[in-house]
Structure 1
Amino acid sequence: MHATGTADPWQLVRHGRDRAGFAQDESLFALANGSLGVRGGLEEDDSPSQGCFLAGVWERSPIAYHERFTGYARNTDTRVPVADASRIRLRLGDVPVQLDDGEWLALERRLDLRNGSYRRTLRWRAPGGGTLEISSERLVALDRPGLLAIRYRVRSIDYRGPIALESAIDTVRTAVTQGDDPRIGAHLSGGLHLDDAHADADVAWLSQRTTHSGIRVVCAQTHRLAADGALAFQGAARTPHGVAQVWAAELAPGSDVVLDKFAAWSWSQPTADASSHPVLLTSAKATLESAGHAGFPSLLADQAGQLAALWRASDIAIDGAPEVEQALRFNLFQLFQSGSRNDQGSVAAKGLTGEGYEGHCFWDAEAFMLPVLATTAPALARHMLAWRHATLDRARIHARELNHARGALYPWRTIAGDECSAYFPGGSAQYHINAAVAWAIRLYVDASGDEAFLRDLGAEMLCETARVWLQVGHYNPRRGGAFCIHEVTGPDEYSALVDNNHYTNRMAQRHLRDAAATVEWLLATHPAEHAALAKRIDLDADEAAQWRHAADAMYLAEDAELGIFPQDDGFLDKPRIPPEQMDDPALRPLLLHWHPLTIYRHQVCKQADTLLALMLAGEDVDAAAKRRNFDYYEGVTVHDSTLSASTFAVLAAETGRAAQAYRYFLDTLRVDLDDLHGNAAHGLHMAAMAGSWLALTWGFGGLRVRNGQPALAPQLPQPWRGYRFGLRWRDTQLRVEVDAAGARYTLLDGDMLDFLHRGEPQRLRKGETLQLAHPAAPAHELKAVVFDLDGVLADTAVLHRAAWQQLAAEIDAPLDEATAERMKGVDRMGSLEILLEHAPRRYGDAEKAELAARKNARYAELIEHLDPNNLLPGARAAVESVRHAGLKTALASASRNAPRLIERLGIADLFDYVVDASHITHSKPDPEIYLAAAAGLGLAPADCLGVEDAAAGIASIHAAGMAAVGIGRADALAEADVLLPNIAAFDIDRIRTKSGPPARLRADAVSLCNPN
């Protein structure tokens, strides 16, 4: 495998010093080890968003209600910033350095994904003269729970004089206060308080404690100096907010000073008393001593070794898209480093990269993150589930709070195992959390073979959580005795307190069957453990049978008219949101603009529950039904959740929606890298990052689990030449490689692996490779032709050119033939941007809007002079021939004036559906316009043929999964599947014999330019 392009798949690099982007960069360059997280700020900068976090350090605050009812959550837990030991301030002479007072000449940040280190270099000129190059490299040790190591260097470019480095531990940061966005900040009572502190030449430390949760923290630091002796100890002291140690030196041009800093945190369990302080301090000092003895280079080498196992297990490569490979590696690295290395925690929604969601864990840890770790880092997946078992007693208490006499209900959002959501319709009502945990247990055991976990921990969790379903559901005589579940909220929080949420019901069905099967397995294979479990949880002899009966009777409705699964009993009865509001970016996300009741009254999804159910537990649903559900829910989903895109990517790939699959994949791939939801500054979206890996392996790779075995059905996304990923399954390592020829499987580790390829059993032994061709492309019956307008049916391009030429003359912008060719097929604003590339001055957004309106006004004037005589020769006959052949027709024009144009041209009645620029948000070469045309016709894109005269249009057609007919010159339309000199040469009968999937057509580069 090889990659072309400029992106380094192993390095994330950012340049520039725009303060507006600093907080996002601090999230992107955060380092963590599951216990400790350190955001990626600059050591000497006073950024208000820089912070350090410990997964085990949180504060408990009472929830204030004006009206509190039985069972409401009484407290919430919030992860709070701990003492920040990443600080190293500079002084030049006696003057403290304030970076913003000087000149930033260059700044580079670099995350090395091979060794897990963050490096940055700042070239800076002091206000009074003198240039420094300040660089640092840091790591958070993956194999040492609370260790941060920094190598800090200052080199003089032309500065001569004294310099001092003040290495500090600060406690100035407190938790962000919640504003209008409930995803950010907290209403915190108490917090961390500074208890004690000490600083001398060897070590500095301070201790903190929380007010209500009673957690105690010690943070300590020590240093190692370069052997050249350039730095000398100057002093140590307590400061208003912590402790500091100072080293000084003389700098001359070309010389440098280097300081290695080691910081360690240790912390107690909740409700610890003062006697824990000596133990914590001793632990922190021991960590420092061990790290100092090892030294920074050795720690860095150890870090690379820790990551080598991840990169070998994931085994990723993308041929032809290095930027995609880089983003996938980045996402996987962030998820891996956020995973707990012990049984005392899981992965929070933002990992340890920021304060978003108060550090809470949600159901997406099991539904999105654990599936990735189960096949790349199974030990971390086990820790996640072991933590759930450790909080099982809290889940039992939560079930009692909701009036369940037996069983356990896991909280929707939590840190220590208690429900932390004050809004029960969107919190405690999300009973599906139990099913997510149960689903994750089964996946983990299947993938790892860890039956000991199932026996010792998993079985108890499955049984206790399964019990709740029989208490929230009942056999409904009005539904023919089907088992119905009422008043729950699914993952899609834009519907709340509904009956028979499809996701909840389908996942509960899977949960109940798994619980029953586990009890039966335990009885058959481990009777002593079964007896102990039955006694411990008072398991009735017939409970497993009751669970199976409820699962078999589970109500899973299908709408007879639409052929889809309703998201819940009332979902399809509600009105849809008007299209102009669905498409309005100013309303995203809806939860920040509309009262919950307004959202609940509409048929709108934050993410599509039904599709997620089909992704996780839809093996008994046929492909046609999945396609119908995908097409329907795509039209009512606003994707306000960062989880949404990955689900759509996986289902799109499974249902043959290749273009949509790739677009959704890119959306989930770059949620944080491109800050697509505008809140990456508050921490990275771990589940969305996991979703990009699921979109690759579950989507394009077709990975599922069937009867305990991995099942794959790989396909190749059109933009790539090939790709590779690894699958850790039990004691084996499988390499999956996909290119245009097919799929190639190699067993790198383990004696033997049985798996399925497109439903067919396969077996590999160690070192063996199996090459399997892609299935033959299905023969598609052509059902419709989608025509472009400008340059295909009418020479309206002449009118466009005249209008643009007039505007170009008015603003003195050159418009030559090459520029005009680039503007073909591009929407109005896109064309304007091309024209303005060589304009004599820059234009603001308001000015651009005025220029576009001016051009359109002139074009509208010219349109009024059109009549049927302005159709290109053979155009009307071409469209009529398609209709006479019994095929549907559509128009896909980038012009907002298309409806008026076809009226003037006298062909409006020849089209079954018309899409113009007012219906779409992305212009060609994006496939949206052709996808919209196919959807409007009620057809799959592969059943349609597109006709275009511009390269951007051909690309748009192909991206939509259609075959493409090009009208015009071969040199401009080299990618067309069928090439015609003009629309008069269009012969639907000849083209129908050639039409099919684009990849097959392009293989023989059909040309009908000389149809003799």
Structure 2
Amino acid sequence: MNQDYIIPDNWSIIEEGFEPERVCSSESLFSIGNGAMGQRANFEEYYSGKTFQGSYIAGVYYPDKTKVGWWKNGYPEYFAKVLNAPNWIGINVKVNGEMLDLNTCKAVEEYRRELNMKEGWYSRTFKAKMPNDMVVKVEALRFLSLQEDEAGAIKYSVTPLNGDAEITLVPYLHTGIENKDTNWEEKFWEPLSVTESGVRAFATARTLKTKYTACTFMSNTVDIDGKILSLVPASENTTDYVSHTYVQSVAANSTITLYKYAGYVTSMNHVVDALEDAANKVLDTVTGLGFDGLLQTQKDAWAKVWEMADITIDGDVKAQQGIRFNIFQLNQTYTGADDRLNIGPKGFTGEKYGGSTYWDTEAYCIPFYMATKDEKVARSLLKYRYNQLDKAIENAGKLGFTNGAALYPMVTMNGEECHNEWEITFEEIHRNGAIAFAIFNYVRYTGDYSYVPEMGLEVLIAIARFWHQRATFSTNHNKYVILGVTGPNEYENNVNNNWYTNYLAQWCIHYAAENIEKIKAAYGADYARIMDKVQLSEEELTDWKKVADNMYFPYSEEHNVFLQQDGFLDKELITVANLDKSQRPINQKWSWDRILRSPYIKQADTLQGFYFFEDQFTKEELERHFDFYEPFTVHESSLSPCVHSIQAAVLNRMEQAYTFYLRTSRLDLDDYNKEVHEGLHITSMAGTWMSVVEGFGGMRVKDGMLSFEPRIPEQWNGFTFKVNFRNHVLKVNVTKEGTTFTVDGDKDVTILLNGEKATAKAVLKTT
């Protein structure tokens, strides 16, 4: 059974009723972020029950030493960890001297959480009967400012209901934080100083090894029934903790409210010696706006995001809630404002997958950011990889590759490989192809070729050199083979001739060679600069092409399909439909040995190739491969349902496409894979966007034009979305009666609709 406690709503994620066993899951689902930092939805007040405390600062990481039983040559020395950052949300609450703790209360009633996605805030309300029989009502509202992205704010109100009470509020900062997933139980933060100035406090700490310095700050004000109190707080501090204590008598049914403004300034953006000054400037700004003023800037900023990024679905609230949740979390995780950053699979919602960047960015996220922001954001993500090219060459060198061959990391913070599982670090080399494909996809969509001569060609050459060296000539097949790999299906390790990997290798070499010729003909100065740098000879280029033109692809004449890998038909081919449901998910029920011998596919593998290179195969070929592989697919990767939804829509299997869409859009909300307590699946959320735009909308780029083949699920009355295509904002409105297109601006745009040219009409906005 999937969880079903999230109440369907078009614009909000809502939970009603306090259930301790779902606290950790809700901490993930109600997470907030602003691109520069993020937090799990931990309680502000003390909680003695099971919880997963988590606050995170973008780009701040720790190289936790890899923990393995035995070492292998080329093994990454560390596993990067997105650090659990100092905690600034904490507010201890006492009522008549008794600590408020929902885990020990006699009763918790009218409990409600809401994540308002339209306006970008998170709230929690409840009534609690405490062990001393005092009954209090608590209302808390919290957000991280998109505009002032080093700050957030909390409004925390307590109302005694059954008598006058002495209320104690203790807002605090704590830098003595540990990661749940530390390999060696090390602390990652070194406290440096704690200082105070009136109602402001500052706690500065530095990461061990990486030496990031963060000043965590707060400023507090208190009012009763709207009247601000001039209170001088009592303070307490240690080397890693500072608190301010406010004690006030509050009449029954009166409300005391604490306004807490807090956040981080770091050495990534400020001079270390001036961090406290920088924190004071941030506090001057946000306290000057006040809570309501800062909240209004938040609402305005999110309105601007939604104006471009929203997808509306008419007639299906769960589907609507799902897509908006995905779009909201993507925009909380990465805004494109800082090209040093990237998109981690858990974003700011948990510690699993410690590294910042996977191939998910190139394969799934770039299309979303290209279409809902502008090409500069996607270009920044590509520039991120170019800036790490030297490290990718160094990574390949550690594995024995030479001559400038590059292997981009599976997981990275700074370009170094830092994943701690050998079968992924050494073998999941298809990630190289995803980066080359992202360059192709960017040029195809934006029409901006300038990235290739400026940066991209060097990346493509280094990747082609890797594939050339990684292939082996087989006298048995009289072809080049690629041995010992893990494809996208991580339920097969150390296999030979994964079709997807071989196909990508061939394509990457051809694409690199094609662009070398293009730049030689049209960008002479760039060509000379690049060739001087990479020292590529005609002889080497000929050798590349020899490998690509003679690549081996395993094929079954019996089934008339490409084989996922050489030994796939040796398995006992029992479909998922005939797998005992009590054995699901197999990654939590079976041994790894049993999984590797099974035919079960974690996510699209061969079908991932058919998704990337759709125009190189017929619809009949897609149908054959879909019908062969999908029945063996357990969809236990977050990246799986979206690709299958798109392909089911292409095949006009709308019920199946819809089912996959619901699974991808509500993967976390309904906790399909029983793991949401660890954090959300941020990067796959971009795949959810693709399942609507590319799946149901049928959007492609053909001959430099947008092409649409819209289809609509039976459950929907209609849907709309916008895309920014080459600086034209196109709105698509699909109903059961037909599809209409409009363009924001003064120029019509020619598109393809079901293969025929059509005109999207310009609509000038009036002010």
Amino acid at match of 1:582: L
Separation of aligned partners in 1, 2:387 and 2:705:
29
User: Is the 8 Å Cα contact of residues 576 and 600 (structure 2) preserved in structure 1?
Assistant: no
1:537-583 CA distance string (max 9 Å, x none): 33435666665665454444442221111111221232235869833
Of the three residues 60, 64, 75, the one matched with 1:61 is 64
Separation of aligned partners in 1, 2:756 and 2:472:
39
**Counterpart position of 1:266:** 265
Task: Give the match's secondary structure for 1:470.
Answer: helix
- 1:624-639 matches, within 5 Å, as 624-639=620-635
Task: Give the match's secondary structure for 2:125.
Answer: strand
**Counterpart position of 2:470:** 472
**Counterpart position of 2:13:** 12
**Counterpart position of 1:802:** none
Separation of aligned partners in 2, 1:544 and 1:328:
45
**Counterpart position of 1:858:** none
- 1:427-826 matches, within 5 Å, as 427-474=425-472, 476=474, 478-479=476-477, 481=479, 483-540=480-537, 550-577=547-574, 582-590=579-587, 593-596=590-593, 598-749=594-745, 751-767=747-763
Task: Give the match's secondary structure for 1:233.
Answer: coil
Task: Report the Cα offset of residue 503 of structure 1.
Answer: 1.5
Task: Report the Cα offset of residue 728 of structure 1.
Answer: 1.5
Residues 68 and 381 of structure 1: is their aligned pair in 2 closer, same or farther, counting only changes over 3 Å? same
Task: Report the Cα offset of residue 752 of structure 1.
Answer: 4.1
Of the three residues 259, 274, 279, the one matched with 1:279 is 274
**Counterpart position of 2:366:** 370
Amino acid at match of 2:278: S
1:725-764 CA distance string (max 9 Å, x none): 1122120111112122222222224634343323333343
Amino acid at match of 1:128: N
Amino acid at match of 1:526: Y
Separation of aligned partners in 2, 1:547 and 1:159:
82
**Counterpart position of 1:418:** 416
User: Is the 8 Å Cα contact of residues 18 and 109 (structure 2) preserved in structure 1?
Assistant: no
Q: Calculate the TM-score normalised by the size of structure 1.
A: 0.70
**Counterpart position of 1:71:** 74
Residues 64 and 329 of structure 1: is their aligned pair in 2 closer, same or farther, counting only changes over 3 Å? closer
Task: Give the match's secondary structure for 2:561.
Answer: coil
Task: Give the match's secondary structure for 2:300.
Answer: helix
Of the three residues 286, 293, 296, the one matched with 2:288 is 293
Q: Calculate the TM-score normalised by the size of structure 2.
A: 0.92
Residues 544 and 352 of structure 1: is their aligned pair in 2 closer, same or farther, counting only changes over 3 Å? farther
Separation of aligned partners in 1, 2:554 and 2:493:
18
Task: Report the Cα offset of residue 332 of structure 1.
Answer: 0.8
Amino acid at match of 1:114: K
Separation of aligned partners in 2, 1:762 and 1:656:
22
User: Is the 8 Å Cα contact of residues 447 and 704 (structure 2) preserved in structure 1?
Assistant: no
Separation of aligned partners in 2, 1:496 and 1:155:
58
- 1:141-540 matches, within 5 Å, as 141-177=145-181, 186-187=183-184, 189-226=186-223, 228-230=227-229, 232-239=231-238, 241-268=240-267, 277-339=272-334, 341-378=337-374, 379-405=376-402, 406-474=404-472, 476=474, 478-479=476-477, 481=479, 483-540=480-537
**Counterpart position of 1:843:** none
**Counterpart position of 1:929:** none
Residues 496 and 251 of structure 1: is their aligned pair in 2 closer, same or farther, counting only changes over 3 Å? same
Separation of aligned partners in 2, 1:741 and 1:387:
44
Task: Report the Cα offset of residue 622 of structure 1.
Answer: 0.9
Q: Percentage identity across aligned positions?
A: 29
Separation of aligned partners in 1, 2:293 and 2:454:
38
Comparing 397-406 and 530-539, the one that deviates more = 530-539
Amino acid at match of 1:258: T
Task: Report the Cα offset of residue 286 of structure 1.
Answer: 2.3
Task: Give the match's secondary structure for 1:568.
Answer: coil
Task: Report the Cα offset of residue 79 of structure 1.
Answer: 1.7
Amino acid at match of 2:720: R
Task: Give the match's secondary structure for 2:138.
Answer: strand
**Counterpart position of 1:952:** none
User: Is the 8 Å Cα contact of residues 218 and 277 (structure 1) preserved in structure 2?
Assistant: no
Task: Report the Cα offset of residue 396 of structure 1.
Answer: 1.2
**Counterpart position of 1:87:** 90
User: Is the 8 Å Cα contact of residues 344 and 683 (structure 2) preserved in structure 1?
Assistant: no
User: Is the 8 Å Cα contact of residues 192 and 211 (structure 1) preserved in structure 2?
Assistant: yes
Unmatched segments (≥5 aa) in structure 1: 1-5, 178-184, 769-1012
Amino acid at match of 1:169: L
**Counterpart position of 1:99:** 102
Separation of aligned partners in 2, 1:424 and 1:706:
40
Greater relative CO, 1 or 2 (CA 8 Å, sep 6+): 2
Task: Give the match's secondary structure for 1:232.
Answer: coil
User: Is the 8 Å Cα contact of residues 201 and 245 (structure 1) preserved in structure 2?
Assistant: no
Separation of aligned partners in 2, 1:573 and 1:324:
40
Separation of aligned partners in 1, 2:420 and 2:355:
16
**Counterpart position of 2:137:** 133
Comparing 672-681 and 247-256, the one that deviates more = 247-256
Task: Report the Cα offset of residue 586 of structure 1.
Answer: 3.2
Task: Report the Cα offset of residue 241 of structure 1.
Answer: 4.8
**Counterpart position of 1:1006:** none
Unmatched segments (≥5 aa) in structure 2: 1-6
Is 1:114 aligned to residue 118 of structure 2?
yes
User: Is the 8 Å Cα contact of residues 668 and 676 (structure 2) preserved in structure 1?
Assistant: yes
User: Is the 8 Å Cα contact of residues 351 and 359 (structure 1) preserved in structure 2?
Assistant: no
User: Is the 8 Å Cα contact of residues 204 and 216 (structure 2) preserved in structure 1?
Assistant: yes
**Counterpart position of 2:41:** 40
Separation of aligned partners in 2, 1:309 and 1:691:
22
Task: Report the Cα offset of residue 619 of structure 1.
Answer: 1.2
**Counterpart position of 1:810:** none
Task: Report the Cα offset of residue 611 of structure 1.
Answer: 0.9
User: Is the 8 Å Cα contact of residues 503 and 613 (structure 1) preserved in structure 2?
Assistant: yes
Task: Report the Cα offset of residue 172 of structure 1.
Answer: 4.8
Task: Give the match's secondary structure for 1:73.
Answer: coil
Separation of aligned partners in 1, 2:108 and 2:246:
24
Amino acid at match of 1:98: D
The CA RMSD over aligned residues, in Å, is 2.6
Task: Give the match's secondary structure for 2:211.
Answer: coil
**Counterpart position of 2:3:** none
Task: Report the Cα offset of residue 33 of structure 1.
Answer: 2.0
Task: Report the Cα offset of residue 680 of structure 1.
Answer: 0.7
Amino acid at match of 1:432: H
1:796-854 CA distance string (max 9 Å, x none): xxxxxxxxxxxxxxxxxxxxxxxxxxxxxxxxxxxxxxxxxxxxxxxxxxxxxxxxxxx
Aligned length: 750
User: Is the 8 Å Cα contact of residues 734 and 749 (structure 1) preserved in structure 2?
Assistant: no
Residues 692 and 165 of structure 1: is their aligned pair in 2 closer, same or farther, counting only changes over 3 Å? same
Comparing 93-102 and 317-326, the one that deviates more = 93-102
User: Is the 8 Å Cα contact of residues 483 and 497 (structure 2) preserved in structure 1?
Assistant: yes
User: Is the 8 Å Cα contact of residues 502 and 565 (structure 1) preserved in structure 2?
Assistant: yes
Separation of aligned partners in 1, 2:147 and 2:500:
38
Larger Rg: 1
